[in-house]
Amino acid sequence: MTDKEILPENHPRAESLKIRHTLIEGFEKGIVAIAGLIAHGRGEAFDYLLGEKTIKSAYNATKSAVASLLLAEKPVISVNGNVTALMAKDLAFLSNKTGIPLEINLFYRSRERELKILRELERYGAKNVLGVDLDYRAELEAIKHLRRYVDSRGILNADVVVVMLEDGDRTMALRAMDKKVIAVDLNPLSRTALAANITIVDNIIRTIPLLGEIYSEIKEYSNKELKAIVDSYNHISTLKDALTHMAISNERINEQLREVNLQIERKKEQIKNKK
């Protein structure tokens, strides 16, 4: 069976299926943890409800995140298996452009996986990847699982940490260490989404490029202007707004039904024309 037969380009969900396959490939390459496939399924479901787009409150949260990163003294972007499988190229680009290091931090940590992730990020040109060199390995007291291993040049001493597809435990531990946590999480009610200082309820495939775009736009702003952007973020209303978008309205059901019925009609035409 060819790839085209499995994944025809005109499939109405082709994009989403492609992403799913990229993750499966990432799993086969040893980059993604098996639980990462489950985590992706969960994210997909929330993204479906969100309408697979960046809603305004998520855009604003992303802007506040960039302003926080620009104001930070020691920012770092934490990366895991899923994030690398889907976004290695964009992450490398973002890190090189902003000078913010990437730090490999895994829930299912193994030496083999961390080295594979490092190679994948470096393959796309990432210049500053932490979390692998054992000479700089440190441990976070507040965490018992393998995410406790951090880099003394990165997360250990960072003031602002970006986390994606994260478990709530580490987010809370980072907060308890007085670090500012920026989370990207499609579930607005996850412990990570609740515990972070800034939560971007959006898909990493949209957020990572958007972080870079907004960075170019506001990098010359004064500290006062950046601070005003940070202060404009409202955590509760951001989470509530995402939930409101996910609560499907009659209008949206009708719109989606119309689209599905149109697709059925198109298929009918195709069958008729083949006869």
Considering beta carbons, is residue 113 or 226 the nearer one to ligand PTJ?
113
Residue with tokens 């499966």: 24
Q: Which of 27, 39, 61, 179 binds ligand PTJ (CB under 6 A)?
A: 39
Instruction: Please report whether residue 129 would count as binding ligand PTJ according to CB under 6 A.
Output: no
Strands 137-139 and 149-151 come out as antiparallel
Considering beta carbons, is residue 105 or 197 the nearer one to ligand PTJ?
105
Binding-site size, ligand PTJ (CB under 6 A)? 24
Binding-site string for ligand PTJ from residue 135 to residue 174, where x marks contact by CB under 6 A and - marks none: ------------------------------xxx-------
Helix axes 81-98, 34-50, angle to 10 degrees: 70
Q: Could you tell me the smallest distance in angstroms from the CB atom of residue 268 to ligand PTJ?
A: 35
Q: Which of 48, 93, 108, 136 binds ligand PTJ (CB under 6 A)?
A: 108
Instruction: Tell which positions 187-206 bind ligand PTJ, by CB under 6 A.
Output: 187, 190, 203-204
Residues that bind ligand PTJ (CB under 6 A): 33, 35-36, 39-40, 42-43, 46, 80-82, 106-108, 165-167, 184-187, 190, 203-204
